[in-house]
Amino acid sequence: MGRIFGTDGVRGLANRDLTAELAVDLSVAAAHVLGEAGAFADQRPTAVVARDTRASGEFLEAAVVAGLASAGVDVHRLGVVPTPGAAYLTSFLEADMGVMISASHNPMPDNGIKFLARGGVKLDDDIEAAIEQRLEEPWDRPTGADVGRVGDSHAGLGAYVRHLLDTLPARLDGLKVVLDCANGATHEAAPDAFARAGAEVVAIHAEPDGLNINRDCGSTHLGDLQRIVVEQGAHVGFAFDGDADRCLAVDQNGEVVDGDQILAILALRGQREGSLAQDTVVATVMSNVGFTRAMEAAGITVLRTAVGDRYVLEAMREGGYTLGGEQSGHVIMSRHATTGDGTLTALQLAAEMAESGRTMSELASVMQRLPQVLVNVGGVDRAGAASHEVVLAEVKAAEARLGDSGRVLLRPSGTEPLVRVMVEAPTSQEAQDIADHLAEVVRTHLAI
């Protein structure tokens, strides 16, 4: 069948690429592989299954539950819960595995399946590879009392919200906050958590109908949030994606605060409090040069990884670091979570505002972003971005032109059929000119 796991689980067009049959087979194979790896400790295994608000999540949830139960796994259905909530509840409920059905920030027709190991952590690459190898294999099916049982866990979302509130160092009384819930998985959890913490909450795009998740809203479409923060005279706004594992912010003036700035704010707070392990923060190659310069000026080391929160997590676990993230808004605080958590990130930022008495614009000013342009080039041979002679020569020429004043990065997408061309330069125009040129080179020489 070939490689089907990407950088963030299995993802594709629901009912075309990601079918009910594949969901069943994946769940059966995952149960077998984890069981044989000793993850179930020779006892009757349990799993939690959650989803975001996509209509396709309903039939995929049914397929995943059927696959797990047919393999002898007892299943707790959590319903609509954010990805970080599913990770937390996998650990909190002492489940042997977890499953999240979501395509994160992707458009509504897509969906995805992510498996979690005991403790709520993502599976290692070798486990995912083993699951792929076991798809559609013959197997001995349990019968009678050995088949898995299925039930609903109605208290899961409340337990997750209580966990979020337990992480707060200060209440949020007096703060007016706008939350763009992307019509997604945190449409209940985020407003509830902020209200319980004392904030005045204005929730937008918090009425999912199964079809409107991520549609012109959330962390990939910040226009509504920027406008409403200013109109409402709010102190800050936060935008989540469909499964709420990422968060971007908008300051009181309607200006965007991206993942690099968020990471910088939290890193400096951690350094001040002594909770930033080894005075190191983990970021990806996409992080702005301005972020690195700000951290170096503060005496904080930046460890860079490949793009993808799984690689950030791996580096954090290997080095014992407590903070990492991506420019896109994935922020991982390992003291409180095993994965990126958009609602947790937003609460921690709001708490820093409440404790310090500073506005979000003042907090975000700790770093100055170098102008950055990102151009996505579709319909091309992704592998050629790292090997085609003409493409590599043009990249080298662009790097020579920029010298130490900027940088160039060509990256094949891990979840979509395209190559991303990223350029940082002293001016926006120069960055745009170089990015457009390189995009045309990629389009011409790597066309399929």
Show which residues are catalytic. 104
Residue whose C-alpha is closest to residue 344's, from 436, 260, 442, 245: 245
Token output for 222: 């910040």
- Phi–psi pair at 73, nearest 5 degrees: -100, 130
Q: How far apart are CA 394 and CA 369, in angstroms?
A: 25
Q: How far apart are CA 16 and CA 25, in angstroms?
A: 15
DSSP calls for 309-342 = HHHHHHHHHHHT-SEEE-TTS-EEETTT-SS--H
Q: How far apart are CA 191 and CA 193, in angstroms?
A: 6
Helices (H) and strands (E) in the chain, counts: 14, 20
Token output for 107: 């458009």
Length of the chain in terms of residues written? 448
Residue whose C-alpha is closest to residue 122's, from 344, 306, 324, 339: 339
Looking from the CA of 195 toward its CB, the CA atoms found within 13 Å total 10
Contact 268, 251 (CB under 8 A): no
Per-residue b or e along 24-50, where b marks 16 or more CB atoms closer than 10 Å to that residue's CB:
bbbbbbbbbbbbeeebbeeeebbbbbb
Helix (H) or strand (E) holding 190: helix 189-196
Who's near 129: CB < 8 A, 6+ residues apart? 5
Q: Residue 416, exposed/middle/buried by CB under 10 A (0-12, 13-18, 19+)?
A: middle
Contact 47, 96 (CB under 8 A): yes
DSSP calls for 48-90 = EEEE-S-THHHHHHHHHHHHHHHTT-EEEEEEE--HHHHHHHH
Long-range contacts of 263-266 (CB under 8 A, 24+ apart): 263/287, 263/291, 263/323, 263/324, 263/325, 263/331, 264/291, 264/294, 264/295, 264/366, 264/367, 265/349, 265/352, 265/363, 265/364, 265/366, 266/323, 266/331, 266/333, 266/345, 266/348, 266/349, 266/352
DSSP 174: T
